[in-house]
Amino acid sequence: MTRAAQLFAALALAAFSALAGAAATPDIPTPYVPSTDLNVDEMLRLAQVRPGDLVYDLGSGDGRIVIAAARDWGARGVGVELDSKLVAQSRERAQQEGVADRVSFQQGDVLKAPIGDATVVTMYLLTPLVERLKPRLLAELKPGTRIVAHEYGFSDWKADRHVQVSKNFYLYVVPASVAGKWKLALTLPAGVREYDLELTQRYQDVKGGARVAGGYLPAFEPRITGERVAFVLVDDNATYRFEGRVSTHLMEGVVRWGPGPRQQEGTWRAVRATAVTEG
């Protein structure tokens, strides 16, 4: 083998080894940049963390967000971090801060770690990883779960709230699914009034209306916040203001109508007929 051929073979072997190593290395698209203590507090404040919450920090680094959630806000916490050295450091810090009984740290990939029991999710990750996480967050988190992104939010999901205090923080509330057709029954003093309600949805933005024998009634001011839903129908010269909660196949709540502050009040219930894909 000539000297040139030997050099080419060596380079080829090195390239193959590098590719094989890259394939075996977990995907780490975000460098480790710890949040300042002030930024940690802003994230937890925006999420309105409470003692009953379970806070997951995806890409938890040295554990400071999870530890602060337990120490300062009385919550429980779970950190998911790829770097085993940072996981060990986090556990040591939790012991030092006296919160080891209320927090845990997992060494693993944020794209694979189970997150379904979280009530709050925090993340300081670059946009490509944030976007890859989005389908899992929407599919696995319960409606009403609060997601706070530090600096890098979702590209097409409008934040429920955006706060800028030194840095940018974005709050997203996981919405219940209301898209599809519903059989709506409105219980009034004069009896029950029925509607065919149809809604479309893109994250927390909802559109649609109700069909009745007399035509079509657009739904005004529709909104979905977690599992809470609200909309307005104008029918028979009355404005009906619906508020309620959503489960998988049922919406129900209170409806108010009439002039002035002393409005009349009734109940409503909607049973899902069909679901449609968000769009």
Token pair recorded at residue 176: 């219940």
- Per residue in 84-111, pLDDT (tens digit) is 999 999 999 999 999 999 999 999 999 9
SS (H, E, C) the chain: CCHHHHHHHHHHHHHHHHHHHHHHCCCCCCCCCCCCHHHHHHHHHHCCCCCCCEEEEECCCCCHHHHHHHHHHCCEEEEEECCHHHHHHHHHHHHHHCCCCCEEEEECCCCCCCCCCCCEEEECCCHHHHHHHHHHHHHHCCCCCEEEEECCCCCCCCCCEEEEECEEEEEEECCCCCCEEEEEEEEECCEEEEEEEEEEEECCEEEEEEEECCEEEECEEEEEECCEEEEEEEECCEEEEEEEEECCCEEEEEEEECCCCCCEEEEEEEEEEEECCCC
Which pLDDT score, from 0 to 100, does residue 260 have?
A: 84
Percent of all residues in the chain with a pLDDT value above 90, rounded to a whole number: 80
- Per residue in 259-277, pLDDT (tens digit) is 888 899 999 999 999 765 5
pTM value is 0.84
180-275 under CATH 2.40.128.120, yes or no: yes
- Is a pLDDT exceeding 90 seen at residue 6? no
In the chain, CATH 3.40.50.150 covers 37-173
Q: Which CATH superfamily is domain 37-173 in?
A: Vaccinia Virus protein VP39 (3.40.50.150)
Which pLDDT score, from 0 to 100, does residue 151 have?
A: 96
- Per residue in 31-48, pLDDT (tens digit) is 777 889 999 999 999 999
- Where does the pLDDT of residue 117 fall: very low under 50, low under 70, confident under 90, or very high at 90 and above? very high
In the chain, CATH 2.40.128.120 covers 180-275
